[in-house]
Structure 1
């Protein structure tokens, strides 16, 4: 039996070094996405969005296996985060955050197959109707691996924004991106593993 495709093993953009920043090229990927705003710890729409993404992603996986004979491991939860003032991430002012939560989808899935998966998932997760299927190309990005509670990310992001990027002549070129390699429901906070990524571009001289 063929081994399941696992994006975390196959793509370099799903691994990052701990304790240092690296600049990588992130290829275009397909995702299921849901948009929202507010503190992810308290906003009801955040929990509904995450549940919807998993419902659609598993429905798509089962359709892929059944109809295309191609199986894979559902990708990790990811988030694109933004705020009017980027300092809101360093200070953890979560009520000011806007987010797009998303889960990677393999390139062989068609929009029609995902649309069917969304329709099926709506029976269990009504918010699945908010899910969209979209491609994202981030290109040149800086990333690192953060180990520990999410609320401890501030100092690392401060170093990225105020030290690494200025020293390397880089500017922001997209939304702050987090890849959640650990499941907070099953992992102790101090052992959570999160890729912190920032798309960048060279500053004009």
Structure 2
């Protein structure tokens, strides 16, 4: 039987369209670093894609270099050891900190790193489960979509026009939004996730919209 919060997630997002089992050795590697409930999800579900690829749970090891590139030069590198645990179809990366839980989102297409002050306080590992349960249990399909220039969501139209995503792909705009591209279906492409996110990082340093965070007090 699934954990209740994840069962509710499945009710909304459907069964996985793709799944890779997680080995016991890998679970042992991350036990003590990431929340216990996440280890339960990985053991039961594997790393998987849901809702036709809207959102994916991922192997953090495969995203360490991308995460490091995006956090480099930001205060977050001194706050916690963050790891990517999920990503969406448009390249948003959902990070879990070893002391802060699921607390940071990198919105790559806008070159933004999002976090709230009250999410960045260190907590014992056993207290991190609620942040994971909230990430999945409170999720809605539109949370992992993107509006075009007229406010109309793109994901379902992108699948029809460009086809469903493979596990290493995302939908991205060309030209990129951060260099003046328009958020239209015609400008959307199916792209390899790794190279595209590295390219986006090169355009500009990420902004931190919630600038009222006192990073000095949060330094590890």
**TM-score between the two structures when normalised by the length of structure 1:** 0.23
Q: Higher relative contact order by CA 8 Å / sep ≥ 6: 1 or 2?
A: 1
Greater fraction of residues in helix: 2
Q: Choose between structure 1 and 2: higher strand proportion.
A: 1
